[in-house]
Amino acid sequence: MLENETEVALRRLSSLKDEEIDLAGAALTLAARGSPGAPIDHYHAHLAEVVLAVANASAEAGDSLIARRAALSRVLHETYEYAGDQKSYDDLQNANLMRVIDRRKGLPIALGILHIHCGRALGWDVCGLDFPGHFLIRLSDGTSRMILDPFNGGEEINADGLRWLLKATQGPDAELRPAHYAPATNRGILIRLQNNRKVRLIKTENLAGALAVVEEMLLFAPRDATLWHDAGLLNRHIGNLRAALVAFGHCRDLADNRVEWERFDQLIAEICGRLN
């Protein structure tokens, strides 16, 4: 896909209802932004191939939750050898679905998108969870649920395992809350995927690269105030003051309380003072 084609495709997502978003397709479009002109049909064909393999494995094993989990794990992690990248976790390729497919390894959220895509293609009730620090998926059948870790072979995680994982990523005082079991939206998953890239670029002081990632997210989530705030801060840091002014103006427009209005008024006034 050419860069202008990916931009049009991402802007189109902004007008879709969340449930209408093709999660894996959108993730491939984002990945294609980094490789203008690269053919993307090969990756869609691979996804279709994996879905068919999961369908066949599920048909052999039965239609229980246990059988569905086993089919996902067997196909993705055994047949196609997808795995969490333990050795180079912070590699930017781990959040790029095209590179994840090429390398067969990635971050929890990239691998989770593959699981979700396969399950939804087969009509299963599967979603990502807004679990902090480590993306998880939930598989349901209306009466029972399983929480799976796509980074570690799609293994099931019980309450004790979730508690351990939460404390490992958020600190010893962290405790499980209902919000940790809340399903993530498709846009939220795409934003979380891209935030992995943004954070890693900021760590390496590539602020222009991080800003480009934020601007990509704004193409499909233009009413996300947090993204506009990120854009404002990054533009201010690299000296793009007029762009920062526009970004903080969007933040103020999207704010819904006086405290936020006053905060953004101060930021806007500060930048205006530097421009005059």
Q: How many domains does the chain have?
A: 2
Q: What is the Cα–Cα distance from 186 to 17, expressed in whole angstroms?
A: 10
What pLDDT does residue 60 have? 84
Model confidence at 83: pLDDT above 70: yes
- Rounded average pLDDT over 105-127: 97
pLDDT value for 2 = 65
Three-state secondary structure call for residue 33:
coil
Residues 190 and 153 in one domain: no
Answer yes or no: do 66 and 96 share one domain: yes
Name the residue range of residue 39's domain. 3-181
Both 8 and 27 in a single domain?
Answer: yes
Quickly tell me which residue has 């053919």 as its tokens: 39
Among 181, 202, 227, the domain boundary falls at: 181
CA distances to 3, 26, 44, 227 from 38, rounded to whole Å, are 10, 15, 13, 28
Asked whether the beta carbons of 100 and 137 are under 8 A apart, the reply is no
What phi, psi does 160 have (nearest 5°)? -65, -40
CA-nearest of 86, 130, 123 to 106 is 86
Structural tokens at position 87: 């050795």
Give the tens place of pLDDT for each residue, 243-253: 999 999 999 99
Instruction: Report the mean per-residue pLDDT for the chain.
Output: 94
Residue 94 has pLDDT above 70, yes or no: yes
Q: State mean pLDDT over 208-218.
A: 97
269 pLDDT higher than 80: yes
Answer with the one of 181, 210, 243 that is the final residue of a domain.
Answer: 181
Residue 1, pLDDT above cutoff 70: no
Residue 201 and residue 170 share a domain: no
Q: Average pLDDT for residues 67-80, to the nearest whole number?
A: 96
Check whether residue 17 and residue 43 sit in a common domain. yes
Look at residue 255 in the predicted model and tell me its pLDDT. 93
Three-state DSSP at 85 gives: coil
DSSP string, 121-182: HTT-EEEEE--TTS-EEEEE-SS-EEEEEGGGTTEE--HHHHHHHHHHHH-TT----GGGGP
The DSSP output letter for 64 is: S
3-class DSSP state of 105: strand
Residues 148 and 191 in one domain: no
Same domain, 227 and 155: no
Do 147 and 176 fall into the same domain?
A: yes
Q: Is the dihedral of CA 60, 64, 67, 69 positive or negative?
A: positive
Say if residues 84 and 111 touch (Cβ distance below 8 Å): yes
pLDDT average, residue stretch 39-43: 91
Are residues 158 and 224 located together in one domain of the fold?
no
Q: Which of 158, 181, 204 is the last residue of a domain?
A: 181
pTM of the model: 0.94
User: pLDDT of 126-140, one tens digit each?
Assistant: 999 989 999 999 999
Shared-domain flag, residues 130 and 224: no
CA-wise closest residue to 236 among 259, 270, 263, 206: 270
